[in-house]
Amino acid sequence: MTTNWLEGVTEKLIPTSLGLINVRVGGRCDGPAMVCWPSLMMDGTMWQYQYEYFAPTHRVVLIDSPGHGRSDALRKIIDLKDCSAALVEILDALDIDKCVLVGNSWGGMLAGVFPAYYPQRTAAAVGINCTASLPTTVESVWASALSTFLSLHAKMPPLAAKAAKAAFVGPTAEATNPEIRGVHQVRSAGRPEVGGVGAAQHPHRTQGRAPPPEHHQERARPDHRR
């Protein structure tokens, strides 16, 4: 694993309909474009291992999704169509005609709908840890209650932070990636800039805040066994 994997990567803020979106661009400048959209509560650096693997052959774009990382905080509730439109704006700004869209969870669901909205901008789409099925009634009620609860807090409550840590950083990840053991301290400290529904409903809570400190993220490793 490269110790300074961001060497040679260009980072910039791109204006979109969802505010300024932070992107990191690197790899082979004349290679096919691969755009990586992360999961909820993660930023573009979660794709470190994929970047290192594909950078020799692809132009790789790592996105801090709206309301995450160094991108602007959300000011409204958004959907996948909004994300698709913002992605097109990013592609236009980077002079990318077509891309291979790779997404995890939230990004995976985006990878499922983006080709339908913009087939002419899609070379291929890869969805990871996502679903195309409709939620059950119980899941819908739970999600609504959870979003309402989180919208009342400027910072993620400790109980919610603990649940998120258990969902995103399991025992195997901690055992095989010692560098991510501090993730739960970052989450427990609260990230008002990553407010999701809360930031959309209470934008005044995120205004005038300093940029978030850099921190380690969990990263997925490519599977070379196939």
Domain boundaries, the chain: 10-132
- Tokens for 218? 């969990």
At 180, is the pLDDT very low, low, confident or very high (cuts 50, 70, 90)?
Answer: low
* Tens digits of residue pLDDT in 94-139: 999 999 999 999 999 999 999 999 999 999 999 999 887 778 899 8
pLDDT number for residue 118: 98
- CATH architecture group of domain 10-132: 3-Layer(aba) Sandwich (3.40)
What pLDDT is attached to residue 188? 43
Other Cβ atoms within 10 Å of 208 Cβ, number: 6
- DSSP SS3 for 57: coil
| pLDDT of amino acid 171 | 74
- Residue 31 burial (CB count, 10 A): 14
Residue 98 and residue 35: Cα distance in Å, rounded? 10
| 3-state DSSP helix/strand/coil % of the chain, to nearest 5 | 40, 15, 45
Cβ neighbors of 216 (< 8 A, separation 6 or more) are 179, 180, 182, 183, 186
Q: Is the pLDDT of residue 209 over 80?
A: no
Can you give the pLDDT at residue 14? 98
Is 206's pLDDT higher than 50?
no
Q: Which residues contact 111 (CB under 8 A, 6 or more apart)?
A: 37, 101, 102, 103, 125, 126, 127, 130
Which DSSP helix (H) or strand (E) runs through 206? none
DSSP 17: T
Task: Share the mean pLDDT of the chain.
Answer: 81
- Give me the pLDDT at residue 154, please: 67
List Cβ neighbours of 12 (8 Å cut-off, separation of 6 or more): 22, 23, 25
Q: Which residue has the tokens 């053991």?
A: 181
> Does the pLDDT at position 186 exceed 70?
no
The model's pLDDT over 58-98, given as tens digits with 9 standing for 90+, comes to 999 999 999 999 999 999 999 999 999 999 999 999 999 99
| Rg from Cα positions in the chain | 17
Distance in angstroms (rounded) separating the CA atoms of residues 212 and 104: 22
Determine which helix (DSSP H) or strand (DSSP E) holds 86, and give its type and residue range.
helix 80-93
Q: How far apart are the first and last CA of the chain?
A: 20
pLDDT for the residue numbered 182: 55
pLDDT tens digits, one per residue of 15-52: 999 999 999 999 999 999 999 999 988 999 999 999 99
